[in-house]
A and B are shown apart, each in its own frame.
Chain A
């Protein structure tokens, strides 16, 4: 080469020249990586800002102040300590009376109905609860903050934002609300109900707890089933299975299963668990079973990778000491592979947590008000709840949808934090 093309520059100079080009390429390469990271972060930021700004409102709820009396005559009871009497007591009557006292000019039937609808029906239950705990309040007159209806709530919140949203609020109601606001008798309060109750047709009463518990129960079933089975399968495939065509076939199919759309697992669950075994619909048990089918491939694949990464030298050391296969696995392979297996399990669980489609198939989309107490109570899960609320026409459900997404994300973050903690904790022991 040197002979064919006599060169002017010495090799050192040529290196110097090519260096500039290399550095430029290097800088471009780095810039591209940094750009990708920034783009990802920006997308995440936009998502968070959007969700938080539209969901934050759901954590507060509008209340109306009313002068209210637990009149024996209005409630129609004599002894508030008697549970039977409390159950039939006419608290709504008391609220209506208080509303009419506040707005004495309202007389027409339809106007009255419009007036009554400004207070949520949940208010009556709150009053009932209070009287149960403080029976002395009977026949006393006090000022109460009563939960407002969701239409009023939406109007009041949008008023503060400077862009009143009327929705189903009539001009007449606007008049009443304005008078209440001017008198300082409307305020927002922390929405405890959102975290303590299940779904409801009334937006102001709807809470996330039912779906949260449903998700927890479903995930518990999934984890309890898929982790041991997945790890067991991975151990067998890695440590015991003979290397033959059949094992290869199984391996290929596990990899394929990981790519099957989740809705298919829902259909499978419907056909097997509900139709063949006659299990109940809409319960976390069946949801967990279906999600187990879905997460198993993920857990098996990551567990196998974790087992593979245990160094051969450790295996040699254990076997050379005369450890049996089982001792090798229990004493050395599993502890070393555990962090990796847990990571896989958490990824699988995170997928399962966000899964909607397969659960729709087995009826976990039902409207369920009660908070599930066990894995065979009808329940729904967070993503399905989000789906249901996103589909509701009431404006108040819009902010609840975002709030539910925040809860779901919080759940995910908590799960990942737990995984990281577990991993560090387990690794520290070694």
Chain B
């Protein structure tokens, strides 16, 4: 990546804390992302461990979403976006134009900020992934998959009698859990969540947080959040981003009680954000 002198001047922080993991699921090395002329991510190096929940925090516009969207190559849909560097999922290189994004996205699922169920029935929403990836050969198998996914998303009891009603008829919190059910129906290895609770009320948020804790037994989860309480509640590690740079990554406890970097401290004590 050719950095302009201005960019170099900005690149003045070294990531502090525990960047690497002993059981990495994802290895991110030298990641640089830019939109047209504007660079959004500067040289990020980070491991995300197997079955860990890592929270991404930082002020608005610092590049959390951009970073997350690199991991399932959703940035491909943005024409102006250029990604350089390396991200390895187990041993597979993700940041390679030759990599087929279809199987990749079956392994790395994503839950978006705004609940975005398909305008189809609840059943079809959850069955969509298994259908397109050919995960169920028989109807009964698909039914079972839909039920377990909805159960794991804690939605089954609320919707089991109305599976054929449109997914958009659910409440916001239910819709978000439906989206989570849809994502886990294809049994991904990693789930990316971009502010999954930002449009939900505290009760729905609590439910999702509970869910994340349960899901972490089986999935690796990377979650972006603006709520430091939420990060503290759900994650094991926390990464703090600032102006496109990864400033600090440490155990969540550590970050919120005794951050290593002064910028992190300034952020969590509310001096900016």
Quick one: CB contact mask for A278-322 with B, threshold 8 Å, 1 for yes?
000000000000000000000000000000000101111111111
Interface residues of B in 114-145 (CB under 8 A from A): 114, 116-120, 128-129, 132-133
Question: Known: A316-B112, A322-B103, A322-B129. Contact between A430 and B77, CB under 8 A?
Answer: no
Q: Is the CB of A430 within 8 A of B74?
A: no
Interface segment out of the listed B2-10, B44-52, B179-187, B200-208: B179-187
Secondary structure call for the A interface: helix
Question: Known: A314-B119, A430-B166. Contact between A321 and B77, CB under 8 A?
Answer: no
B131 vs chain A, min Cβ distance (A): 9
B115 vs chain A, min Cβ distance (A): 9
Interface residues of B in 212-245 (CB under 8 A from A): none
A126 vs chain B, min Cβ distance (A): 59
Q: Is the CB of A323 within 8 A of B116?
A: no
A183 CB within 8 Å of chain B: no
Q: Is the CB of B106 within 8 A of A322?
A: yes
Contacts of B110 in A (CB 8 A): 316, 320
Contacts of A243 in B (CB 8 A): 79
A223 CB within 8 Å of chain B: no
CB-based nearest A residue for B128? A321
B72 CB within 8 Å of chain A: yes
A336 CB within 8 Å of chain B: yes
Contacts of B109 in A (CB 8 A): 320-321
Question: Known: A322-B106, A430-B166. Contact between A317 and B133, CB under 8 A?
Answer: no
CB-based nearest A residue for B80? A243
Question: Known: A327-B132, A430-B166. Contact between A321 and B116, CB under 8 A?
Answer: no
Contacts of A101 in B (CB 8 A): none
Contact of B116 among A313, A324, A327, A336 (CB under 8 A): A313
Contact of A313 among B72, B105, B114, B166 (CB under 8 A): B114
Chain B contact patch, size range: 20 to 34
A322 to B102, CA, bound (A): 5
A187 CB within 8 Å of chain B: no
Question: Known: A316-B112, A317-B112. Contact between A322 and B119, CB under 8 A?
Answer: no
A430 to B121, CA, bound (A): 8
A111 vs chain B, min Cβ distance (A): 79
B66 vs chain A, min Cβ distance (A): 14
Chain A contact patch, size range: 10 to 19
A311 to B106, CA, bound (A): 22
A102 CB within 8 Å of chain B: no
A96 CB within 8 Å of chain B: no
CB-based nearest B residue for A327? B132
A216 vs chain B, min Cβ distance (A): 34
CB-based nearest B residue for A242? B79
A321 to B192, CA, bound (A): 12
A365 vs chain B, min Cβ distance (A): 48
Contact of B117 among A317, A322, A336 (CB under 8 A): A317
A388 to B193, CA, bound (A): 68
Quick one: CB contact mask for A211-248 with B, threshold 8 Å, 1 for yes?
00000000000000000000000000000000100000
Contact of A322 among B77, B120, B132 (CB under 8 A): B132
Contact of B77 among A311, A314, A315, A331 (CB under 8 A): A315
Quick one: CB contact mask for A326-337 with B, threshold 8 Å, 1 for yes?
010001100010
Which residues of B come within 8 Å of A, CB atoms? 72, 74, 77, 79, 101-106, 109-110, 112, 114, 116-120, 128-129, 132-133, 166, 179, 182-183, 186
Task: With A324-B102, A332-B118 given, name 5 new contacts (CB 8 A).
Answer: A317-B118, A319-B74, A319-B77, A322-B106, A322-B129
Enumerate 13 A-B pairs (CB-CB under 8 Å) in ascending A order.
A313-B112, A313-B116, A314-B119, A316-B77, A317-B117, A317-B182, A319-B74, A319-B101, A321-B128, A321-B182, A321-B183, A322-B105, A332-B118
Which residues of A come within 8 Å of B, CB atoms? 243, 311, 313-324, 327, 331-332, 336, 430
